[in-house]
Amino acid sequence: MVTYIIRRLIAAVLMLVVVSIVTFSIFFVVPRLAGVTATDFANRYVGSKGATAETVVALADKLGFNDPLTVQYGRWVKGIVAGSDFDTGASIEHCPAPCFGYSFITKTPVWPELLDRLPVTVSLAIGASVIWLVAGVSTGVLSALRRGSFFDRAAMGVALAGVSLPIFFTGMMSLVFFSYKLGITAPGRSYTSFVDDPVRWAYNLILPWITLAFLYAAVYARLTRAGMLETMGEDYIRTARAKGLREPTVIVKHGLRGALTPIITIFGMDVGLLLGGAILTETTFSLPGLGKYAVQAISANDLPKIMGVTMLVAFFVVMANLLVDLLYAVVDPRVRLR
Amino acid sequence: MTAPLDVSGDEQHAAPEAVSQGAGAKAIQGRSLGQIAWTRLKRDKVAMGGAGVVVFLILAAVFAPVVVGWFGHPPNEFHQEMIDTLTMQPKGGTGISADFLFGVEPVNGRDLFSRVVYGARISLLVAFLATLLSVVIGSIMGVVAGYFGGWVDALISRLMDVFLAFPLLVFALSLVGVLGQFETQLAIKGDTLRILLLVFIIGFFNWPYIGRIIRGQTLSLREREFVDAARSIGARGPYILFREILPNLIAPILIYATLLIPSNVLFEAALSFLGVGIQPPTATWGGMLAAAVKYYTVPHFMFFPGMAIFITVLAFNLFGDGLRDALDPRSSR
């Protein structure tokens, strides 16, 4: 067990290193290959301040865009691990670890901003994931048990529609209908911190939760149904019935347990991804979370911010995968042997 | 893969008659896997309905200028006469009439019908090309990993894990954003550049899904008797790969390609919605939805492009599910 955990941990760290290299490449190597020069990079950092050509060339040098790529990568990683200093012109800003960079456009370090946005995204992800897990899995199980019934057909029809609808469309239509026409839910742009007012927090988030959960619940219902149909046909289910177990026990303890293992994997990955910013949901409902932050950073050309948020998402995904792997080892002893 | 015995439906009745008549009137003909699948697919009304809609959409996209010529106005033509100058909203709420089938946009009064039809072009083009790219990369990587095994397999499998763990949308968003902003330094420009970028990014990040499936299939095919037989008569690697294994992979490749198209349609719409896809004034469904956000008092503006996405994705999903059921005899619903 211990060796398994250690192996998984090493794999997770390696994964993060690979992701950091890819992230760095996307922002610094790929544009280079497309013919972008160091001066262009410096121009992006300056933003729309309208600096003279000489200043930009000097800045490119100062920010190290002319250094070899490996040196630039090393400097970026060092900042994340150990922190670094930034010369903003007027003063030298110290940016403690984890330093995901310093935005020269808004003159702020990235990390505190990320921390600021995190609670919004976490609230959205947790609420939605609880709803979709309960709704999706129970619908899937019921559909599988009553295969071919009216309920099964209706539920699978709705689920198929659910996976075919883009979240920004359902989100916008539900905003128009429930918030602006009926006035029973909060309009877009509403967010209250849980600490300030838990009731308001839930009221403001209920529509985003349901919209987001609907999409995932559809996917989970389809997966659970398929999984249940497969496991309920296994020999051990027949054995369980043959030894006289009551049907609910057979379904929950034997059937569902087997069907849920793949669901756990996908759930882990989905939540991990969402924690890094439910980009489309946050944009549709104008929630100030990490996803919205990423979109704003991209439209403002703010490189350090984009890289910071990308790395944070990757971190969450890798952590979620790690957790799922460890959970697997606890649930299913065979996994440890691999 | 052996031919599945399909004795349901009309064949069941056909067989005894054929026996009683001996080899008389009609000789019993062997049917290929493809023919069997086609018979099954034809019986699946839902899948055929999906296929019909898909064909209709493709035709509408290909002949968009003709369709718009008949039923609409050029997609970027302003119709200020349709707009109430006080509210900047379409006259009569939506502007829907025989002349403007889906009504007009607020402010500048562009024909929504034409824009939805032209949006299908971008949507389908990007989705098809991106799927093609994913399928080509995924199939090659999957077959190579599954067939050669050993360190090659280990390397490719790791690579697929890395890709699958990537926050796809964030990366795609950043990459399109980054490259798009350096447009002035690049050789290709405008819509062509954007379409190529979208195809490359959507296609490049999606290959591991197909790769994994193909790898698994190849692993089991490699151990089959007919491969041993080919090897025993002296066939070498490339021959076995292309003549023995690849033909057996066509079914899974076809199924997952069909199911990847709708998810790519959604992906393209999402990127356009977030403003990093094809840039206005070119009409895209995602871009239209993004523009409609500001005009929630005229919901028809978001309704039509949204429904276009929904119908397209649903049709492909229905057809893909049907295709899977038809090609894979083990699957049952």
How confident is the model over A40-65, as pLDDT tens digits?
777 766 655 556 777 777 777 777 77
CB pairs under 8 A between A and B: 133
Average pLDDT, chain B: 80
B62 and B194 housed in the same domain: yes
Q: Are residues B21 and B147 in the same domain?
A: no
Would you say residue B143 lies in a domain? Answer: yes
Q: How far apart are CA A64 and CA A9, in angstroms?
A: 33
Across the interface, of A165, A175, A277, the residue whose CB is closest to B170 is: A277
| A47 and A165 share one domain | no
Pairing label, strands A92-95, A108-109 = unpaired
d(C-alpha B223, C-alpha B243), whole Å: 15
Range of the domain at B20: 1-30
**Residue in A117, A168, A174, A176 to test binding to B, most B beta-carbons within 10 Å:** A168
Nearest to A26 among B171, B269, B321 (CB): B171
Q: Is residue A104 part of a domain?
A: no
Q: Which two structure tokens, joined as six digits, stand for B18?
A: 């054929």
Domain count across chain B = 2
Asked whether residue B36 is domain-assigned, the answer is no
| Of the ranges A18-22, A90-94, B92-96, B329-333, the best mean pLDDT one | A18-22
pLDDT at B11 over 60: no
Return the DSSP state at B90. B
Q: Are residues B8 and B87 in the same domain?
A: no
Tell me the ipTM for this assembly.
0.83
Check whether residue B130 and residue B218 sit in a common domain. Answer: yes
Same domain, B221 and B133: yes
Measure the CA–CA gap between A108 and A102, rounded to whole angstroms: 6
Q: CB-based contact (8 Å) between B308 and chain A?
A: no
Ranges A36-40, A280-284, B219-223, most confident: A280-284
Whether residue B261 lies inside any domain: the answer is yes
- From A99, A131, A161, the end of a domain falls on A99
Integer Cα distance of B250 and B246 in angstroms: 7
Is B277 in the same domain as B145? yes
- Determine whether the interchain pair B177/A160 forms a contact, defined as Cβ–Cβ distance below 8 Å: no
Do A133 and A273 have their domain in common?
Answer: yes
More confident residue, A147 or A43: A147
Same domain, residue pair A209 and A316? yes
Do A181 and A272 share a domain, yes or no? yes
Residue-wise pLDDT for B248-292, tens only, equals 888 888 888 988 999 999 999 998 888 887 877 888 898 888 888
Q: Which of A23-32, B179-188, B251-260, B279-288 has the lowest mean pLDDT?
A: B179-188
- Of A165, A168, A317, nearest to B165 by CB-CB distance is A317
* Residue A106 covered by a domain: no
Other C-beta atoms within 10 Å of B310: how many?
18
CB contact under 8 A, B170 and A321: no
**Residues on chain B touching A36 (C-beta within 8 angstroms):** 182, 185
Contact status of B302 with chain A (Cβ, < 8 Å): yes
CA distance A250 to A240: 6
Contact B174 A310 (CB under 8 A): yes
Q: Are residues A68 and A136 in the same domain?
A: no
For the CA atoms of chain A, what is the radius of gyration?
24
Distance between CA B331 and CA B326 in Å, rounded?
9
A49 shares its domain with A121: no
Closest Cβ opposite residue B165 in set A161, A277, A321: A321
Q: Examine residue A219 and state whether it is found in any structural domain, yes or no.
A: yes
Q: Please indicate, yes or no, whether residues A7 and A67 belong to a single structural domain of this protein.
A: yes
Q: Provide the token pair at A41.
A: 């990079």
Which CATH number is B113's domain given? 1.10.3720.10
Look up residue B100 and give its DSSP letter. Answer: S
B3 secondary structure, DSSP code: P
| B55 occurs within a structural domain | yes
Q: Are residues B134 and B24 in the same domain?
A: no
Give CA angle at B162 (A262, B320), nearest 5°. Answer: 55
Residues B125 and B166 in one domain: yes
- Please state, in angstroms and rounded to a whole number, the distance separating the CA atoms of residues A279 and B293: 16
Residues A245 and A195 in one domain: yes
Q: Which one of A45, A70, A99 terminates a domain?
A: A99
For an interface test with A, give the residue of B155, B174, B181, B193 to mutate (most A CBs within 10 A): B174
> Does the residue B35 lie in any domain?
no
Chosen domain end from A99, A133, A151: A99
> Facing residues of B90 across strands?
B83
**Residue B63 clears pLDDT 70, i.e. is over it:** yes
- Phi, psi at A109, each rounded to 5°: -70, 150
Q: Looking at the structure, do residues B269 and B296 belong to the same domain, yes or no?
A: yes
Work out how many domains chain A is built from and give that number.
2
What six digits make up the tokens of B156?
Answer: 């490719």
Report residue B255 as tokens. 């199924």
Question: Comparing A122-126, A189-193, A278-282, B289-293, which segment has the lowest mean pLDDT?
Answer: A189-193
Say if the Cβ atoms of A30 and B175 lie within 8 Å. yes
What is the DSSP code string of B14-77?
HHHHHHHTTTSSS------HHHHHHHHHHH-HHHHHHHHHHHHHHHHHHTHHHHHHHHS--TT-
Are residues B315 and B214 part of one domain?
Answer: yes
Residue B314 shares a structural domain with residue B193 = yes
Q: Name the more confident of A28 and A43.
A: A28
Element (H, E) at B147: helix B112-148
Asked, for residue A229, whether it belongs to a domain, the answer is yes
The CATH number linked to A200 is 1.10.3720.10
Q: Which domain holds residue A248?
A: 111-332
> How far apart (Å, rounded) are the C-alpha atoms in residues B97 and B112?
12
Q: How confident is the model at residue A134 (pLDDT cuts 50, 70, 90)?
A: very high
